[in-house]
């Protein structure tokens, strides 16, 4: 069930129509993957392939019924769900609904970037709750890979319509040796850029020059979401520091993850201090760790979370500066990052080894109790 050719004419170059076509292709990819996993799930339940004669068979297939399923790419209509004589009940739909966005992204990526056994195993385990055997992964992988190759090598039409857009640009001559980066504020009312002259760099905001330094940090300056503040990192010698409203911060060996909080009341960043890393929150230094993952603010900007771990593999989930969980193997936290659902609720993905040699993936949800 690879995506079929379904060419549409783009009247008035409608972006909505183009998005509809893309969603249709991705919806078909999700549909085929779910059908494949359902078929494998009922085969495991029956302990036998269709029409296979074996004394180990536990149940018989009994046709299928159809149901609609909502996805991030729209509704899949008439999805066939296998039935058995003794009442096969799939666990797929409940698990899919809980992690729809992550699974849809993983499935679509398989059809866009190519199918892999790791990707198939991860999706199947997330949908069924059971670590699939290597033979099961191999069987589903080859099925999906065949569909993917069929879709990639499908016959293309002789003619396609393209819409080209063009713009006008002008060459601007500056009085400086080089202009390295240009940034607009979110409301587009303020312009900032990094200029270089005589091997020195400085920031210019709305035509006003900031102080001159040995270097300006890549990706800076950045504006607050309300466009009222900006911050950047600068270098003098081997040391780095922040500059906020003309004031220099403390010297560090390096910087990363410079950002404003979502309510614009705080500026945070990850600083390198020798071989350790710390989170600096409005000038206040947190506990040092060997490595710190990407910090994440709650939607209202009141709470800050991040993952920190030590060389011995022990790590911590830190919420508002407090170590709330300790992990013997911090690699269990996938991507070393948490995701907020509400101002006080967040989740992260945790992987654990199973006896079969695969890893189970659990969605961990935490609630912050405001004081």
For 208-231, how does the pLDDT look when each residue is reduced to its tens digit (9 = 90+)? 889 999 999 888 899 999 999 999
The residue with greater pLDDT, 75 or 363, is 75
Question: What is the helix (H) or strand (E) element at residue 39, kind and residue range?
Answer: helix 15-46
Residue 265 belongs to a domain? no
pLDDT at 113: 65
Same domain, 34 and 112: yes
pLDDT at 368: 84
Residue 41, pLDDT above cutoff 50: yes
Give the pTM: 0.51
Residue 131 belongs to a domain? yes
Same domain, 203 and 83: no
The residue with greater pLDDT, 321 or 178, is 321
Least confident interval from 155-164, 271-280, 290-299? 155-164
Whole-angstrom Cα distance, residue 129 to residue 125?
5
Q: Encode pLDDT of 46-77 as tens digits.
A: 888 888 888 888 888 888 888 888 888 888 88
Mean pLDDT across 193-198: 88
Same domain, 145 and 33: yes
Residue ending a domain, choose from 124, 152, 180:
152
Residue 162 belongs to a domain? no
Residue 34 belongs to a domain? yes
Same domain, 66 and 115: yes
Residue 11, pLDDT above cutoff 50: no
Residue 348 belongs to a domain? yes
Distance of CA 134 to the CA centre of its chain: 27
Angle (CA) 207-211-215 rounded to 5° is 105
Same domain, 15 and 139: yes
Same domain, 137 and 186: no
pLDDT at 251: 94
> Structurally, how many domains does the chain consist of?
3
Residue ending a domain, choose from 90, 123, 152:
152
Same domain, 205 and 101: no
Same domain, 289 and 349: yes
CA neighbours closer than 13 Å in the CB half-sphere of residue 241: 14
Whole-angstrom Cα distance, residue 306 to residue 25?
36
Least confident interval from 63-72, 77-86, 330-339, 351-360? 330-339
Whole-angstrom Cα distance, residue 126 to residue 111?
18
Residue 314's pLDDT band (cuts 50, 70, 90): confident
The residue with greater pLDDT, 170 or 182, is 182
Same domain, 40 and 65: yes
Residue ending a domain, choose from 231, 251, 271:
251
Backbone angles phi, psi at 205, to 5 degrees: -120, 120
Mean pLDDT across 316-345: 76
Residue 65 belongs to a domain? yes
Same domain, 29 and 84: yes
pLDDT at 371: 59
Same domain, 20 and 132: yes
Mean pLDDT across 191-196: 89
| Burial environment of residue 317 by CB neighbours within 10 A (0 to 12, 13 to 18, 19 or more) | buried
Q: Encode pLDDT of 240-280 as tens digits.
A: 999 998 889 999 998 888 999 999 999 999 999 998 999 99
> In whole angstroms, how far apart are CA 307 and each of 190, 258, 285, 317, 327?
34, 16, 15, 5, 10
Look at residues 55, 58, 32 and name the one whose alpha carbon lies nearest to residue 44.
58
Cβ atoms of 280 and 268 closer than 8 Å: yes
Same domain, 207 and 240: yes
Residue 361 belongs to a domain? yes
pLDDT at 49: 82
If phi over 0 gives left and psi between -120 and 50 gives alpha, with beta otherwise, what is residue 356?
A: alpha
Residue 307 belongs to a domain? yes
Average pLDDT of the chain is 79
Q: 315: how many CB neighbours lie within 10 A of its CB?
A: 26
Per the structure, the complete domain to which residue 43 belongs is given by 11-152
């Amino acid at each position: 069930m690879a995506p079929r050719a379904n060419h549409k004419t783009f009247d008035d170059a409608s972006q909505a129509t183009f998005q509809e076509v893309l969603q249709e292709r991705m919806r078909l990819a999700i549909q085929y993957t779910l059908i494949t996993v359902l078929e494998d799930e009922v085969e495991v339940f029956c302990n036998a392939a269709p029409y296979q004669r074996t004394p180990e068979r536990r149940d018989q297939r009994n046709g299928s019924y159809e149901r609609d399923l909502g996805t991030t790419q729209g509704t899949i209509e008439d999805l066939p769900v296998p039935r058995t004589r003794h009442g096969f009940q799939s666990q797929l739909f409940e698990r899919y609904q809980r992690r729809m966005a992550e699974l849809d992204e993983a499935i679509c990526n398989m059809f866009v970037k190519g199918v892999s056994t790791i990707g198939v195993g991860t999706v199947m385990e997330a949908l069924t709750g059971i670590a699939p055997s290597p033979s099961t992964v191999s069987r589903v992988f080859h099925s999906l890979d065949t569909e993917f190759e069929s879709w990639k090598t499908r016959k293309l039409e002789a003619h396609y319509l393209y819409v080209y857009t063009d713009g006008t640009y002008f060459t601007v001559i500056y009085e400086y040796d080089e202009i390295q980066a240009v940034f607009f504020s979110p409301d587009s009312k303020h312009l900032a850029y990094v200029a270089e002259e005589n091997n020195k760099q400085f920031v210019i905001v709305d035509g006003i020059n900031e102080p001159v330094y040995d270097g300006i940090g890549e990706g800076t300056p950045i504006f607050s979401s309300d466009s009222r503040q900006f911050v950047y990192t600068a270098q003098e010698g081997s040391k780095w520091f922040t500059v906020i409203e003309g004031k220099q911060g403390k010297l560090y060996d390096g910087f990363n993850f410079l950002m404003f909080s979502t309510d614009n009341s705080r500026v945070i960043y990850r600083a390198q201090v020798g071989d350790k890393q710390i989170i600096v929150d409005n000038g206040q230094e947190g506990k040092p760790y060997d490595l710190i993952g990407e910090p994440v603010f709650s939607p209202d900007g009141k709470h800050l979370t991040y993952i920190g771990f030590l060389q011995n593999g022990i790590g911590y989930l830190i919420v508002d500066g407090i170590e709330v969980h300790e992990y013997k193997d911090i690699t269990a936290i996938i991507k070393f990052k948490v995701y907020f659902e509400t101002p006080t609720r967040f989740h992260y993905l945790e992987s654990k080894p199973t006896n079969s040699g695969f890893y189970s993936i659990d969605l961990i949800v935490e609630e912050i109790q405001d004081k």
